């Protein structure tokens, strides 16, 4: 990569203020404070990455990232409200209350660096903690549209990799050779899908070809990192389209192999309908500014593998309760090897699953007890989702919808056992009276 940095610098293009649509009025005040303060102290300072990309697209950036030629210690000396974080590459976080502006130092390529020069006092290897120039920094980024630098000095946009042209053509393109970049970090394949969906871009043909050939590399990525990527894929408003795109490129089976197996072999379309409906609901909630819980979506994504395994165990003579408990344990144990979800997530998933058969009981005190369960609402929403996609009884869902909103008196009536009524003479109530002397003499009975 070091050899290719110089040619990139030769074809740099600077877009002046009149040639782009980024206005300082759309940049956060705190980000501007950091940029101007660094500039005042004699350092170069730029906005870079997703915030520049989103500003060019007319969107409101979620975060504003700053890059500079000041190292983290120098940044900390400039800002008292600063904390240095990171192990592989140190970053400066400048705090303004709850708002955090991340400041990174230009990264270098570092191939010629000696490992001994990159050990901290505790002996930790800091191979990635190599600082460089802006021309080197651009090559440490992934996609061209994420490698544009907004210069606060003259309000220009600096482009080393034809990122502005890719913006205009709505193309997502890797910087450099796609196969090489995917091999450097296979997670870029997931990021490629996420960005194409999020931005409404098309994937560059060379990137698409390399992606399809190198999907298997993701299997060797740490499960904890894949879990973090899965959250980004499914929790931010484009879950349904992302799901379809992941399946199209064969990436979904890397994240959820058990689920993909069920989707590929099921005779009916219920599993896919369940997942699609849940993801669409999630996207609707995000659009409405509501929260989305990771455990609920993971419970949906893994429900069919749990059901399939439980049915196998039941057919082998296992009781239904034990079969579902064991199936849940086995499916989660397998899944954490791909996406290492935290324990509190897996526990919440189990609770949602374990509540499903309890909704079948509608007599006695158990329904009232179930209402007080901390996961009742999630469990009911899961039941509703199943009913909407043909996996549960609609009448059962309606009963619980009425029950949870009824008064205590009405709830008691709804949960009382229904008395069986007999028909015909056998069902008529007989009356008894004492036999009279006349009755006894005739031998008749009252």
> Distance between CA atoms of 108 and 138, rounded to whole angstroms?
9
Listed in sequence order, the residues at least 6 apart from 119 whose beta carbon sits closer than 8 Å to its beta carbon are: 125, 126
Beta bridge partners of 172: 203
CA 288 to chain centre: 17
Classified as helix, coil or strand, 73 is helix
> Cβ(56)–Cβ(167) under 8 Å?
yes
The verdict on whether 142 is a catalytic residue reads yes
The verdict on whether 439 is a catalytic residue reads no
Beta bridge partners of 158: 14, 149
Listed in sequence order, the residues at least 6 apart from 328 whose beta carbon sits closer than 8 Å to its beta carbon are: 306, 349, 350, 353, 354
The verdict on whether 71 is a catalytic residue reads no
Classified as helix, coil or strand, 107 is strand
> Distance between CA atoms of 430 and 409, rounded to whole angstroms?
33
Rg (CA), the chain: 31
> Cβ(304)–Cβ(187) under 8 Å?
no
The residue annotated as part of the active site, out of 44, 63, 71, 128, is 63
Beta bridge partners of 203: 172
Structure tokens of 128?
């990635």
Structure tokens of 195?
């960005």
> Distance between CA atoms of 38 and 41, rounded to whole angstroms?
5
Give Dmax (Cα) for the chain. Answer: 128
Minimal CA–CA distance to 148: which of 16, 21, 47? 47
> Distance between CA atoms of 160 and 173, rounded to whole angstroms?
13
Minimal CA–CA distance to 103: which of 115, 116, 88, 89? 89
> Distance between CA atoms of 401 and 96, rounded to whole angstroms?
45
> Cβ(103)–Cβ(94) under 8 Å?
yes
Q: Distances in Å between the alpha carbon of 364 and those of 118, 150, 368, 398, 416?
A: 69, 67, 8, 18, 6
> Cβ(146)–Cβ(166) under 8 Å?
no
- The catalytic site residues sit at 63, 65, 142
């Amino acid at each position: 990569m070091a050899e290719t940095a110089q040619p990139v610098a030769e074809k740099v293009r600077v877009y002046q203020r009149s040639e782009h649509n980024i206005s300082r009025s759309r940049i956060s005040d705190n980000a501007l404070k950091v940029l101007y303060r660094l500039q005042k102290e004699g350092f170069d300072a730029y906005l870079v990455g997703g915030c520049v990309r989103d500003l060019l697209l007319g969107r409101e950036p979620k975060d504003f990232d700053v890059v500079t030629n000041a190292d983290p210690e120098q940044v900390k000396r400039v800002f008292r409200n600063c904390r240095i974080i990171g192990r592989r590459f140190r970053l400066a976080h400048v705090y303004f209350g709850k708002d955090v502006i991340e400041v990174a130092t230009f990264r270098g390529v570092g191939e010629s660096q000696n490992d001994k020069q990159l050990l901290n006092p505790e002996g930790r290897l800091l191979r990635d903690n190599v600082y460089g120039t802006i021309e080197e920094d651009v090559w440490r980024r992934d996609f061209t549209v994420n490698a544009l630098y907004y210069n606060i000095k003259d309000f220009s946009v600096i482009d080393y990799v034809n990122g502005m042209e890719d913006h205009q053509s709505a193309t997502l393109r890797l910087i450099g050779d796609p196969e090489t970049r995917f091999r450097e970090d296979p997670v870029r394949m997931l990021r490629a899908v996420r960005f194409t969906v999020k931005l409404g871009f098309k994937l560059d043909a060379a990137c698409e070809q390399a992606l399809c050939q190198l999907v298997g590399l993701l299997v060797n990525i740490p499960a904890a990192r894949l879990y973090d990527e899965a959250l980004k894929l499914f929790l931010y408003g484009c879950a349904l389209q992302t799901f379809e795109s992941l399946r199209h490129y064969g990436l979904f089976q890397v994240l959820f192999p058990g689920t993909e197996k069920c989707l590929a072999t099921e005779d009916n379309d219920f599993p896919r309908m369940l997942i699609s409906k849940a993801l669409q609901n999630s996207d609707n909630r995000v659009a409405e500014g509501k929260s989305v819980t990771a455990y609920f979506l993971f419970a949906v994504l893994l429900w069919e593998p749990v059901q399939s395994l439980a049915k196998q165990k039941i057919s082998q003579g296992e009781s239904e309760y034990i079969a579902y408990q064991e199936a849940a344990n086995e499916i989660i144990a397998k899944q954490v090897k791909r996406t290492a979800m935290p324990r509190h997530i897996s526990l919440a998933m189990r609770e949602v699953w374990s509540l499903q058969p309890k909704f079948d009981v509608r007599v006695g005190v158990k329904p009232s007890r179930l209402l007080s369960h901390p996961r009742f609402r999630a469990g009911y929403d899961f039941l509703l989702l199943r009913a909407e996609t043909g996996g549960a009884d609609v009448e059962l869902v309606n009963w619980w919808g009425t029950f949870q909103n009824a008064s205590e008196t009405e709830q008691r009536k709804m949960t009382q056992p229904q008395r069986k009524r007999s028909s015909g003479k056998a069902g008529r109530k007989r009356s008894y009276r004492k036999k009279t002397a006349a009755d006894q003499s005739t031998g008749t009975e009252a």
